[in-house]
Amino acid sequence: MLEYQAILEEIAHEIQPFLNEGNVASYIPELANVMPTHFAMSLMCVDGRSFHVGDYEKRFSIQSISKLFTLAMAMQRVDESLWERIGKEPSGSAFNSLIQLEYENGIPRNPFINAGALVVTDIILTHLKDAHATVLEFLRTLTQKDDINFDFHVAKSEAATGYRNQAMANFLKSFGNLEHEPSRVLNAYFHHCAIAMNTQELARAGLFLANQGIQPWLKEPVLTPRQAKRINALMLTCGTYDSVGDFAYRVGLPAKSGVGGGILATLPNHFTICVWSPRLNSKGNSYAGTKALELFTTKTKLSIF
């Protein structure tokens, strides 16, 4: 049996030199205020065991990791018709590129680039009275932590400076791929991204993805086994921006990263693993976080490949 706790501690030690590589995201001013050398890693097994190392109780801005949960919420409500408005292919471009959106008439490549997540948010707004509250409620239920909340400073900071996302939402609307006004979709989107959680909570929240759609402590399945598998497939092909190929090559796990420095990965039927370190590589993924996951799959020889 693998000594997970020992392995995590080994990684926390070996990762030290890498914590100074890369840069903290600066495009949301509020994100730049975080101490850049934080490091945390949490492993949550489908059998209930969990292991942690580093700052795993320190909350950070989950940013694009929220896209996993909003996608799950949308799949609960609309399933396959979802894919008439969003593709399932890797973008091959930066997460905030507008180029493909223009070439492909307003259909985002996948639900994990910003444009796709805006359409997912638009779908949620159609089905929910209070999208803000429901997303929060969903994460609180998944984790059984009632104090998970928005970081309103981050949400406000992004709303005030997020011209690129403003451009994207208006662009989607011009192609008729948003039902609601761009400002309303953006407001919900910025809030989802601004939720603050720690690695322990994220690993716990995402367990259904590694567990056939089931969150063990909840009565009802979150998703069907097939839906959970499909989100894993999307994570592998689209979850780490335009470095999915390199990430699959090095780490070999389905994963979703965020510019807050978090990465949530799964080994289906085994565990979720969440890592956090704020400095990002040139593709927008946590520099040390990616390295830590690579060390983990190398040491444990566990990956999907």
| Smallest separation, CB 108 to a copy of itself (Å) | 12
Give the binding range for a copy of itself (CB under 8 A) out of 36-44, 48-56, 91-99, 135-143. Answer: 91-99
Give the binding range for a copy of itself (CB under 8 A) out of 2-10, 48-56, 71-79, 224-232. Answer: 224-232
Site for a copy of itself in 3-22 (CB under 8 A): none
Catalytic residue among 67, 173, 256, 291: 67
The token pair at 238 is 């689209």
Tell me the number of residues near a copy of itself by CB under 8 A: 49
Site for a copy of itself in 240-299 (CB under 8 A): 242-246, 248-249, 252, 254, 268
Contact flag: residue 303 with a copy of itself (CB under 8 A): yes
Residue in the structure block whose two tokens are 């909840």: 218
Residue 129 or 301 with smaller CB distance to a copy of itself: 301
Active site residue 64: yes
Active site residue 241: yes
Contact flag: residue 305 with a copy of itself (CB under 8 A): yes
Residue 252 or 260 with smaller CB distance to a copy of itself: 252
Contact flag: residue 54 with a copy of itself (CB under 8 A): no
String marking each residue 117-156 x if it binds a copy of itself according to CB under 8 A: ----------------------------------------
String marking each residue 229-248 x if it binds a copy of itself according to CB under 8 A: xx-xxx-xxx---xxxxx-x
Catalytic residues: 64, 67, 189, 241, 259
